[in-house]
Amino acid sequence: MDPVYKALVEIAGEGHVSNRPEELHTYSRDLGTSEPHRPDYVVAPRTTEQVQEVVKLANRERIPVVPLGGGLSLAGLAVPLRGGIALDMKRMDTILEVNEKARYAVIEAGVSQGKLISYLHRHHPDLRHSEPQAPTPATIAGNIAIHGQGDLAQPYGFNSDMVNGLEVVLPTGEACKIGSCAVSPGWFTLHPLPDLGLFLGWFGTTGIITKLSLRLFPLKRIREVEQFVVEDPGLVPEVIYKVTHTEMAEDVFAGTQSTIPARVGLHHVTVYITADSEKELEFKTGLIWDDALGEYIRSGDGGFADLLPPMKARFAARPGMLLSTVCDTLQGGGFEYVGGIMPVETYPQCCQRGAEIYSKHGIPQLMIARVIGRAHAMMFAWAYPFNRGDAESVNKAREAVHETDDLALDLGGTIWKPGVYGQKKLMERMDPGTLQLMRRVKELLDPNGIMNPGNWEVA
């Protein structure tokens, strides 16, 4: 028997290790356009100690380790570019604690979005987390590790801004805690201890998150959706600015697409308003509709659409499945998008230049932007569906993704969860000092270069 395989079985148990072709095939790919690469082993640990043992083994044997949660980044971030061990964190799926008064949850890294949503619904119905529009098997930790955003992005920022603490296993096998959990039983704050933010946005190249503490927020009884429609994309930044100024909205999206004929040539700013009473809802709606956006309505430049209840229900549903249901417009099962973190003022150019890329590759347009903070930024997504069974379709989507990576940077943004191509482009433009710091961090933490190699490889 392969000694590495045997050692992994001793660590994680017989049923939780595989080097069979079926599993290697499954873990070789993700749903995006990245080329597949097979791991040599797949292992699903149950405890932090098991993760540590796997990492120590990998160091001894100089085998790459690629941690993954749901593997749904769509950018190939959990595809084992140099083979090695695919470390599936999904068995570590215990919700360890929910502190209602301090509003946080401590969870293991394999807890899925769906599990947390249903747990809170059942046991803590007044609390919620910032839920991304990812499929429900996606993990909380995976989303945070890539600086995801959810439906509380507008008031509270990135999901990674909502972390109170982490437990991580370093690339050399030590475990450590970040935040108040390092000095206290409570996982209630990351600050004001020394900043050890070395594990988010690194795609597993600096360590493996095994636990985290996530801030929770009030769950309001009523969740209403309104959609403001304009023809001129130049108005969208203004509209977003005015809506966010009210501080009355929760989630705010803007977008345009060519897949629904009624909506072609139009831009829809979707505003979620939550409340515990009709009085609160009316107050918030009035501020947004009548005060902030009234001038556009009166001039006829923009207006709130009459969203019928069945459509509203789809928009308002939690977990939010709308993106998942609209993304497969080519009915080919393939979908990838470039998420640029962009200044809101670039919305018109993002649309215009994005339209050129869609047209060039013959792909139907679907562009959506989620506001982060009080219009501090937006996550602008250029979405590219493709037919998985058609190599030409896959190539077109891949080329479009790469051109869009360039576009996001040309327009002054950064790329959210960049694949290898996007990482290279970012590093080409990066401040040299920053680049060197990244290299030093990686060398310090991962001297043997085993953690998800091929990612953030600083020359």
Interface contacts to other proteins, rule CB under 8 A? 229-231, 261-266, 282, 285-286, 289-290, 294, 296-306, 308-310
Picking from 86, 87, 93, 74, the residue whose alpha carbon sits closest to that of residue 419 is: 74
3-state DSSP assignment of residue 385: strand
Instruction: Compare residues 242 and 263 and give the one whose CB is closer to other proteins.
Output: 263
Picking from 236, 229, 238, the residue whose alpha carbon sits closest to that of residue 347 is: 236
Under 8 Å between Cβ of 126 and 219: yes
Phi, psi values for residue 445, rounded to 5°: -80, -35
Under 8 Å between Cβ of 367 and 383: yes
Instruction: Compare residues 183 and 308 and give the one whose CB is closer to other proteins.
Output: 308
Instruction: Compare residues 253 and 416 and give the one whose CB is closer to other proteins.
Output: 253
Under 8 Å between Cβ of 222 and 274: yes
Distance of CA 109 to the CA centre of its chain: 15
Tokens 């987390």 belong to residue: 129
Instruction: Compare residues 219 and 311 and give the one whose CB is closer to other proteins.
Output: 311
Helices assigned H by DSSP within 218-293: 235-246, 278-286
**Smallest distance, Å, CB 405 to other proteins?**
31
To 10 degrees, what angle do helices 3-12 and 48-61 make?
170
Q: Cα separation of 55 and 67, whole Å? A: 10
Instruction: Compare residues 206 and 246 and give the one whose CB is closer to other proteins.
Output: 246
Radius of gyration from C-alpha coordinates of the chain: 22
**Smallest distance, Å, CB 229 to other proteins?**
4
Picking from 361, 342, 457, 440, the residue whose alpha carbon sits closest to that of residue 400 is: 361
Q: Cα separation of 245 and 276, whole Å? A: 21
**Smallest distance, Å, CB 38 to other proteins?**
43
**Smallest distance, Å, CB 201 to other proteins?**
38
Instruction: Compare residues 182 and 266 and give the one whose CB is closer to other proteins.
Output: 266
**Smallest distance, Å, CB 249 to other proteins?**
16
H/E stretch holding 3 reads helix 3-12
Instruction: Compare residues 3 and 300 and give the one whose CB is closer to other proteins.
Output: 300
In our burial notation (b when 16+ CB lie closer than 10 A, e otherwise), range 47-69 reads: ebebbbbbbbbbbeeebbbbbbb
**Smallest distance, Å, CB 366 to other proteins?**
17
Under 8 Å between Cβ of 75 and 53: no
**Smallest distance, Å, CB 232 to other proteins?**
9
**Smallest distance, Å, CB 133 to other proteins?**
23
3-state DSSP assignment of residue 304: strand
Longest dimension (CA), the chain: 76
**Smallest distance, Å, CB 383 to other proteins?**
21
**Smallest distance, Å, CB 282 to other proteins?**
8
What secondary structure letter does DSSP report for 260?
S
Token pair in block for residue 431: 């401040």
Instruction: Compare residues 60 and 221 and give the one whose CB is closer to other proteins.
Output: 221
Question: Residue 196, class by beta-carbon neighbours within 10 Å (0-12 exposed, 13-18 middle, 19+ buried)?
Answer: middle
Instruction: Compare residues 264 and 391 and give the one whose CB is closer to other proteins.
Output: 264
**Smallest distance, Å, CB 230 to other proteins?**
5
Instruction: Compare residues 111 and 367 and give the one whose CB is closer to other proteins.
Output: 367
**Smallest distance, Å, CB 305 to other proteins?**
6
H/E stretch holding 212 reads strand 208-215
3-state DSSP assignment of residue 222: strand
3-state DSSP assignment of residue 198: coil
Instruction: Compare residues 5 and 283 and give the one whose CB is closer to other proteins.
Output: 283
Instruction: Compare residues 309 and 433 and give the one whose CB is closer to other proteins.
Output: 309
